[in-house]
Amino acid sequence: MLFLVTALDCEARPLISHFELKLSGSHGRAQFFRNANTALVITGTGSTKSAIGTTALGLSEGIQAPSAWINIGICGHADLPVGTALLANKISSDASKEGFYPQCPWDHKWRGCALRTLSEPSFEYEENVAFDMEANGYYQAALRFASSECIHCLKIVSDNKEHPATRKMDKEAISQLVESQLANIEKFSSTILESVVAYKQPPWLDDLLRNAKDILRLTSTESVNLKKALGQWERLSDDLNELAAKELIENQPKKEVFRLLEANIQKLASNRLK
């Protein structure tokens, strides 16, 4: 699942259109949009709002694997040209000493840059760092739902010393800046989602475990052990299906179920380890 986080409606519009997202709900002022594979939240401006919106989106969708999270928005930079897209490699803020380092073992086309999140808009620039107002809150919130390699901030320079920010934003220009990166965003997110290895348990496993808990009168520890053993069996076996697992569990006493499972796992693991 791809999760996109923007502060502004004008940042979100090109993404909503490109990924064909539909309004799917809200949390306070944060608005959610989604399709089958992509979810987006418009959080409002500021680190706190971004953290709230990101958390709300994550909680509404649940932890998903694989997942990629990208905060997309505009930033200021002292000397990089307007339109330059930057992938944050360090995120700090003026409100906290703690810094974050998004890890990126994926190929991408963007320039890396340190990013500092400010609590208030600023019209002053520093060398070698971009400024935004959301990344710090977003990043900390997203860490609840994915690992660092899957959480990124893409910021597009909208102002610099030569073209300083103005109090009134040109929404159309901002949409165009985001639009210019759509192809790269799609490629980058696909790279992450295709590369992240996520073990998916078979859809029947949870039902089977629920039944097993009743039939075999499992303790909590035994339930955990049975889930682990069935998972191992399933990963080692090319042809384990619901029927075979059901037969094993429903027709044997508890002790025998665990013995047979262990024997199967040992045999299959031995066959694989040659």
d(CA 159, CA 164): 5
> Under the criterion CB under 8 A, does residue 236 sit at the interface with another protein?
yes
> Under the criterion CB under 8 A, does residue 215 sit at the interface with another protein?
no
> What's the token pair of residue 198?
């996520």
Among 22, 167, 255, 272, binds another protein (CB under 8 A): 272
Residue appearing with tokens 């909590």: 220
Residue 101 backbone zone (phi > 0: left; psi -120 to 50: alpha; other: beta): beta
> What's the token pair of residue 194?
């295709």
> Which helix (H) or strand (E) element contains residue 13?
helix 9-18
Q: How far is the CB of 191 from another protein (least distance, A)?
A: 10
Binding residues for another protein, rule CB under 8 A, total 34
CB 88 within 8 A of CB 156: no
Stretch that binds another protein, among 43-51, 101-109, 164-172, 250-258 (CB under 8 A): 101-109
Question: Which parts of 102-131 interact with another protein (CB under 8 A)?
Answer: 103-106, 112, 114
Q: How far is the CB of 83 from another protein (least distance, A)?
A: 20
> What's the token pair of residue 178?
């985001």
Among 82, 182, 196, 240, binds another protein (CB under 8 A): 196
Stretch that binds another protein, among 21-29, 148-156, 160-168, 211-219 (CB under 8 A): 148-156
d(CA 149, CA 196): 9
Q: How far is the CB of 261 from another protein (least distance, A)?
A: 11
Residue appearing with tokens 């660092």: 148
> Under the criterion CB under 8 A, does residue 241 sit at the interface with another protein?
no
Name which of 83 and 99 has its Cβ closer to another protein. 99
Q: How far is CA 64 from CA 69, 77, 112, 197, 235, in A?
A: 11, 34, 27, 12, 20
> What's the token pair of residue 113?
């840059």
Among 18, 235, 246, 254, binds another protein (CB under 8 A): 235
Q: How far is the CB of 79 from another protein (least distance, A)?
A: 17
Residues that bind another protein (CB under 8 A): 89-90, 99-101, 103-106, 112, 114, 143, 146-150, 195-197, 199, 231-232, 235-236, 265-266, 268-274
